[in-house]
């Protein structure tokens, strides 16, 4: 997912490699200007508002937004006694965040003894995503984590023949699937409902959340638990797959042009924590708030 997460080029599980003669360091951190206005809300008030955010990509982690101290509301950051040592960036001081009559400890941090090569983060503070009420780009809420500009989703129409079977029963048969290509993941194939035997799908309680697609609902197919899923109301950016059904090739038989698909590197999704108190309504509508 993106530059440093899942199987991105800076992630521990990268599937590609840099074509250089000497091995690269095990950990490569990448910092860059976000070039978007970003705001943070806590206690019902704005606590940070900046057009000079720096985004840090750290191997195996979501991108983190660092705000200049001058763009953080006075009095919001209260020093604490907590200090830690970052493996690459050195001494780290933690803050309690106070605003709007609310207080949360260990909610922001600053790297205070940065080496010269990491000076991009000097005099900058990051807020713990799940500790804040919400993060915004302009007037739209960003849920899950800071948006990764290297994360991309492409959806392509295809006439390839896709068949899904389980215990000899045909669950889906289509010549018009949509192929969804997402950074860091193997392709996923989405089938129109008209080409699915919906009587085979048993809705499964619970949903998961993707910062780029929205809420996913799941289905059991006989004894194959969670073998199918659908974004019933996918976000506009990926609206073409709204309501379509995709199938797990490690849980059910999926054939593409006669060849059976298997679980490939990158197809298993690493769950990520939702925002603090993030509700279903906020996922669906929160970006317009």
What confidence tens digit (pLDDT) does each residue in 213-268 have? 999 999 999 999 999 999 999 999 999 999 999 999 999 999 999 999 997 665 66
Q: What topology is assigned to 153-260 in CATH?
A: 2.170.150
Check if the beta carbon of residue 166 is closer than 8 Å to that of residue 200: yes
- Strand ranges of the sheet holding 140-142, from the earlier edge strand across to the other edge: 45-50, 38-42, 134-137, 140-142
Sheet (strand 30-33) strand order:
30-33, 54-57, 64-68, 124-127, 102-111, 90-99, 77-86
Q: Counting Cβ atoms within 10 Å, is residue 174 exposed (0-12), middle (13-18) or buried (19+)?
A: buried
Surface-to-core class of residue 216, CB atoms within 10 Å of its CB (0-12 exposed, 13-18 middle, 19+ buried): middle
- Are 180 and 188 a contacting pair, CB within 8 Å? yes
Q: Record the pTM.
A: 0.85
135-168 pLDDT, tens digit per residue, is 999 999 998 889 888 999 999 999 999 999 999 9
* Torsion sign (Cα): 35, 208, 184, 244: negative
Residue limits of CATH 2.170.150.40 in the chain: 30-150, 153-260
The confidence score (pLDDT) of residue 278 equals 55
Please answer whether residues 220 and 210 qualify as being in contact, where contact means their C-beta atoms are separated by less than 8 angstroms: no
The torsion defined by the Cα of 163, 165, 168 and 174, in degrees rounded to 10, comes to -30
Least confident of 81-90, 210-219, 259-268, 275-284: 275-284
What CATH superfamily is the domain 30-150?
Domain of unknown function (DUF427) (2.170.150.40)
């Amino acid at each position: 997912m993106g530059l440093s997460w899942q199987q991105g080029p800076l992630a521990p599980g990268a599937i590609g490699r840099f074509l250089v003669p000497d091995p690269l360091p095990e950990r490569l951190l990448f910092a860059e200007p976000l070039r978007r206005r970003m705001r943070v809300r806590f206690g019902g008030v704005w606590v940070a508002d900046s057009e000079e955010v720096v985004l840090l990509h750290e191997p195996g982690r979501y991108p983190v937004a660092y705000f200049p101290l001058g763009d953080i509301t006075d009095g919001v950051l209260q020093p604490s006694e907590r200090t830690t040592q970052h493996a690459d960036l050195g001494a780290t001081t933690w803050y309690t965040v106070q605003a709007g009559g609310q207080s949360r400890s260990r909610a922001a941090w600053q790297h205070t003894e940065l080496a010269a090569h990491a000076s991009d983060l000097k005099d900058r503070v990051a807020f713990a995503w799940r500790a804040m009420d919400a993060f915004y780009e302009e007037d739209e809420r960003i849920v899950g984590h800071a948006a990764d500009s290297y994360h991309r989703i492409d959806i392509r129409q295809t006439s390839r023949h896709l068949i899904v079977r389980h215990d000899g029963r045909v669950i889906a048969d289509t010549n018009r699937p949509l192929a969804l290509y997402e950074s860091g993941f193997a392709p996923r194939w989405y089938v129109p409902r008209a080409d699915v035997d919906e009587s085979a799908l048993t809705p499964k309680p619970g949903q998961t959340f993707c910062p780029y697609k929205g809420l996913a609902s799941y289905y059991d197919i006989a004894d194959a638990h969670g073998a199918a899923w659908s974004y019933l109301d996918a976000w506009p950016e990926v609206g073409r797959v709204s309501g379509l059904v995709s199938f797990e090739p490690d849980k059910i038989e999926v054939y593409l042009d006669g060849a059976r698909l298997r679980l490939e590197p990158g197809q298993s999704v690493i769950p990520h924590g939702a925002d603090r108190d993030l509700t279903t309504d906020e996922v669906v509508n929160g970006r317009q708030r």
